[in-house]
Amino acid sequence: MIKHKGWLLLIAIVVVFIGGSWGIHSYYYGGEAYYTQIVSNGTRMEEKDSAGETVIDYNYQQAAYNEDGVTKKVDFNGNKSTPLKRNAYLKLIVNKNKGVVSWEKVAKNEIPDKAQKMLNK
């Protein structure tokens, strides 16, 4: 009987740990999908890294739309030394606490209809 309680306690601890880790990950890196189309070259930014090297990045501030067509102004960096390709479609993950936490290029047909209609305006 005591062995069974030990295993149950161990399983409960593992479940709490996994659930907590998932919750923390969702809080910092999760979010709602929004879609946008690159319509400018972005704003060029030059900064020095910790080694003193110049790092070039491009910042974008533009409208994005969720699957229901709701608009959100987003501010994100391309994290590339060259501008993102004009007219490219992006899927952004927007965290309510941190803003845009990730982006990926998508094909136009992968964008939900209501978001697509808003992008075509």
Report helix, strand or coil for 25. helix
Report which DSSP code applies to 107.
-
- The total number of residues written for the chain in this structure: 121
Residue 38 in tokens: 């690159």
From the centroid of its chain, how far is CA 41?
A: 20
Radius of gyration of the chain, Cα coordinates, nearest whole angstrom: 20
Task: Express each pLDDT in 38-65 by its tens digit.
Answer: 999 999 999 888 898 899 999 999 999 9
User: What does the H/E/C string look like for 22-69?
Assistant: HHHHHHHHCCEEEEEECCCCCEEEEEECCCCCEEEEEEEEEEEECCCC
The hierarchical CATH code for the domain 32-119 is 2.40.50.480
Domain parsing of the chain, residue ranges: 1-30, 32-119
Predicted TM-score of the model (pTM): 0.78
Task: Express each pLDDT in 71-96 by its tens digit.
Answer: 999 999 998 889 999 999 999 999 98
Residue 67 in tokens: 């699957």
Task: Express each pLDDT in 2-39 by its tens digit.
Answer: 667 777 777 777 877 777 777 676 677 779 999 999 99
Residue 78 in tokens: 């391309």
How many Å apart are CA 100 and CA 36, to the nearest integer?
Answer: 12
Residues forming a β-bridge with 58: 44
How many Å apart are CA 82 and CA 64, to the nearest integer?
Answer: 21
Percent of the chain with pLDDT over 90: 63
